[in-house]
Amino acid sequence: MGWQSANSMVHALQSIRSPRHLRALLSRRSTNSAHTNTGASLSTHIQTWNDARGYATQVQPAAPEINFEKFQALPARIIPTSPAYFSGSPKFIDHSLRLEGILAKYASLPTVPAREAPRMAWFRLPQFREFVGEPIPTKKYKGLLRILQRLNRIDPAITPREVRDTLNDFLRPGNPYDIKLAPRTLDELGRARGKGKRKASHAVVHLVEGEGEVLINGKSLTEAFPRVHDRESATWALRCSSRLDKYNVWARVKGGGTTGQAEAITLALARALLVHEPALKPILRRAGVITVDPRRVERKKPGRKKARKMPTWVKR
């Protein structure tokens, strides 16, 4: 039956492509979720079919062949397990419907603000596509994520077990948010160290309590940066937190040009300042010295004069 539709063909080929470990994960989870699909006439067959999908190398049809011998009474019409069977993406729709049902059920529970909710590493889109084995558009996945985030905002103290289990199905394997870095501290001489990069420059800043003196590569601020704008951007983290006359800066910076060096110092200085005063983080973030600018020079391409510039058009 499945072989007759082009859609099923696509699904079968995708299941070949998908890696083995995710397949195994998928089959385990689908087994759990199969309890929710009750009342369908083919539930036992679905069970075996799901188990069979654990082998990625096998070419799997959308459903096994129906053995008409086993039927006690031949039904008038064969009905698939999922009502979304004939849609393009039945499993995705099943997941969505299940989440919407849970959300409707627990909509009245109190929620917490988004920043107080536990941090969850949801599937990224390509991973989710492999998980369900269906080509899901970005927009639809974003809708699904919105429901997941809403469920996650239910007050953690009273979250029902069902919600918790369901949400866990959509997490990436491993927990990236579990890694806790050791907080940076001052060294025995009261110095904080911070590193920063911008364009081709990288800077290391040592920050001590002091009176606002700045030394960059052994030179004063005016000698290092003749342009006032560069001086302002290098000391911007201290300036915007009104700490310019509270600390002494000792910086080493190399690579790149003047602007890159100044802005690498900005970033390194902000990180060193956070070691002294971690509470300044929101202020510094608003000042724009926490966010890293990862842009680099775009590479030159063959057939072009520069990265984008085309050679001049000549008639012949």
Which residues contact another protein by CB under 8 A?
A: 212-214, 220-223, 228, 231-232, 235, 239, 242, 244-245
CB of 34 closer than 8 Å to CB of 47: yes
Q: Strand 219-220 to strand 247-254: parallel, antiparallel, or no bridges (unpaired)? A: unpaired
d(CA 218, CA 224) in angstroms, rounded, equals 9
Question: What are the Cα distances from residue 68, in Å, to 17, 42, 65, 74, 310?
Answer: 31, 12, 9, 8, 67
Q: Which of 75/212 has CB closer to another protein?
A: 212
Tell the smallest beta-carbon distance from residue 231 to another protein (Å). Answer: 5
Tell the smallest beta-carbon distance from residue 258 to another protein (Å). Answer: 15
CB of 244 closer than 8 Å to CB of 238: yes
Tell the smallest beta-carbon distance from residue 222 to another protein (Å). Answer: 3
Q: Which of 148/269 has CB closer to another protein?
A: 269
Q: Which of 201/233 has CB closer to another protein?
A: 233
**Tokens 């060193």 label which residue?**
272
Q: Which of 26/224 has CB closer to another protein?
A: 224
Tell the smallest beta-carbon distance from residue 228 to another protein (Å). Answer: 7
Q: Which of 35/315 has CB closer to another protein?
A: 315
Tell the smallest beta-carbon distance from residue 218 to another protein (Å). Answer: 13
Which residues, including other chains, have CB under 8 Å from residue 42's CB and lie 6 or more apart?
A: 63, 66, 78, 79, 80, 81
Tell the smallest beta-carbon distance from residue 201 to another protein (Å). Answer: 20
Q: Which of 116/245 has CB closer to another protein?
A: 245
Measure the CA angle with vertex 81, ends 97 and 60; round to 5°. 105
Q: Which of 4/242 has CB closer to another protein?
A: 242
Mark out the alpha helices in 19-60 (DSSP H runs).
Answer: 20-33, 43-52
Residue 164 structure tokens: 């918790």
Residue 260: closest CA among 295, 287, 288: 295
Q: Which of 141/247 has CB closer to another protein?
A: 247
Which residues, including other chains, have CB under 8 Å from residue 215's CB and lie 6 or more apart?
A: 248, 249, 250, 251
Question: What are the Cα distances from residue 139, in Å, to 45, 76, 144?
Answer: 33, 39, 9
**SS3 at position 34:** coil
d(CA 72, CA 75) in angstroms, rounded, equals 9
Tell the smallest beta-carbon distance from residue 213 to another protein (Å). Answer: 6
Tell the smallest beta-carbon distance from residue 208 to another protein (Å). Answer: 15
